[in-house]
């Protein structure tokens, strides 16, 4: 049996005394693409942060590619695109290339100068994202869609095997959104990156993800779209209209 990319068992998490994840268990096969959905405040971002090891669960275990999630061997194989770029000051005087280089820094135990391999890795990822021409631009001068590509590049520069994406809620124009989804699908299909994407866009996720993980503190549904769309239990839970919203584009 191949090692699962993500294995979550009996996971519970609390902020202070309030439980926001309750006994969550699921596994993600390597190369799969999971759409993580649920109402506002249902624990999606928290789940991603617990998987990343940014938050400590009260109970349960997480393994990434067979390693405990706290293990460096696991951590360096995971790329993360946070929902909010609030830590990011658009006036920060950094070029695109320097911003992407930050994705390499966390891998190194001690800060050191970039070597030729680092420079090559940055060039490769910029090319992959089709932003080589922006390399020397200041990050603050770019459009929202271009900045997002730079942050995806930063998440990818380590060549992660798992990509955890908290879809930005900042309104992106439809073309940029489409480009974003196409890029993630490409990475999943061609580069075999395992993807877990938090999305509010229930209407289109069926076009991209292979499985749906619907949580509301606990797992409500986990499985393929066909199973979701045919499930009478889910029709009863969501109502036919909402179920249809998720299913109608996934013919
Ligand atoms: P989602 O991503 O599904 O919108 P979150 O994981 O952000 O949900 O939040 C789950 C619940 O935890 C919400 O009720 C939210 O208010 C609460 N919460 C999130 N972050 C914190 C925090 N830092 N401290 C206390 N409560 C939090």
* HEC sequence for 16-65: CCEEEEEEEEEEECCCCEEEEECCCCCCHHHHHHHHHCCCCCCEEEEEEC
Question: What is the CA(46)–ligand 1 centre distance, in A?
Answer: 6
Report whether residue 45 contacts ligand 1, using a CB cutoff of 6 Å: yes
Assigned token pair, 12: 């519970």
Residue indicated by tokens 């999606």: 44
Question: What is the CA(84)–ligand 1 centre distance, in A?
Answer: 14
H-type helices in the chain, by residue range? 44-52, 72-75, 96-105, 116-128, 144-156, 174-190, 205-208, 225-230, 232-238, 240-247
* pTM of the entire predicted model: 0.88
DSSP state of 245: H
Give the pLDDT band (50/70/90) at residue 41.
very high
Examine the pLDDT at 246 and tell me if it is beyond 70. Answer: yes
pLDDT in tens, 192-240: 999 999 988 777 788 889 999 999 999 999 999 889 888 888 888 888 8
Pocket test for ligand 1, best of 37, 41, 57, 214 (most atoms within 8 A of CB): 41
What element of type H or E holds 222?
A: strand 218-224
Report whether residue 17 contacts ligand 1, using a CB cutoff of 6 Å: no
Pairing of strands 59-64, 6-15: antiparallel
Residue 102 neighbours by CB under 8 Å, 6+ apart? 154
Assigned token pair, 97: 């290339």
Nearest CA to ligand 1 atom 26: 15
Q: Is 7 exposed, middle or buried (0-12, 13-18, 19+ CB in 10 A)?
A: middle
Instruction: Tally the residues of the chain.
Output: 251
156-173 average pLDDT score: 80
pLDDT in tens, 72-93: 888 888 998 887 665 566 667 8
Q: What is the pLDDT of residue 220?
A: 94
Q: What is the pLDDT of residue 111?
A: 56
Average pLDDT score over the chain? 86
pLDDT in tens, 109-152: 555 677 888 899 999 999 988 899 999 999 888 887 788 888 88
Examine the pLDDT at 28 and tell me if it is beyond 60. Answer: yes
Cβ-contact 12, 59 below 8 angstroms:
yes
Residue 69 neighbours by CB under 8 Å, 6+ apart? 51, 52, 53, 62, 63, 75
Give the pLDDT band (50/70/90) at residue 20.
very high
Q: What is the pLDDT of residue 170?
A: 56
CA-CA distance, 39 to 117, in Å (whole number)? 43
With CA atoms as reference, report the closest residue to 33 among 51, 6, 62, 12. Answer: 6
Give the pLDDT band (50/70/90) at residue 108.
low
Q: Which domains does the chain have, with CATH numbers?
A: 1-77+161-251 (3.40.50.300), 90-159 (no CATH)
Examine the pLDDT at 67 and tell me if it is beyond 90. Answer: yes
Instruction: Return the top range by mean pLDDT from 98-107, 187-196, 197-206.
Output: 187-196
């Amino acid at each position: 049996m191949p090692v699962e990319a993500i294995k979550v068992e009996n996971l519970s998490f609390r902020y202070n005394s309030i439980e926001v994840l309750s006994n969550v268990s699921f596994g993600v096969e390597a190369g799969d693409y999971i759409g993580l959905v649920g109402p506002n405040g249902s624990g999606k971002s928290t789940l991603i942060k617990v998987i990343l090891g940014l938050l400590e669960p009260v109970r349960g275990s997480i393994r990434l590619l067979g390693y405990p999630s706290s293990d460096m061997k696991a951590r360096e194989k995971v790329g993360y695109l946070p929902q909010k770029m609030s830590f990011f000051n658009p006036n920060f005087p950094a070029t695109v290339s320097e911003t992407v280089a930050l994705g390499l820094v966390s891998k190194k135990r001690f800060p050191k100068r970039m070597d030729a391999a680092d420079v090559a890795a940055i060039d490769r990822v910029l090319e992959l994202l089709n932003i080589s021409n922006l390399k020397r631009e200041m990050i603050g001068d770019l459009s929202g869609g271009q900045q997002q590509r730079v942050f995806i590049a930063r998440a990818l520069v380590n060549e992660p095997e798992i990509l955890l994406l908290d879809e930005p809620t900042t309104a992106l124009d439809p073309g940029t959104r489409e480009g974003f989804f196409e890029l993630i699908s490409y990475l999943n299909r061609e580069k075999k990156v395992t993807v877990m994407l938090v999305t509010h866009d229930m209407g289109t996720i069926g076009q991209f993800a292979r499985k749906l993980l619907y949580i509301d503190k606990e797992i409500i549904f986990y499985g393929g779209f066909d199973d979701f769309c045919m499930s009478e239990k889910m029709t009863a839970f969501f109502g036919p209209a909402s179920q249809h919203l998720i299913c109608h584009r996934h013919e």
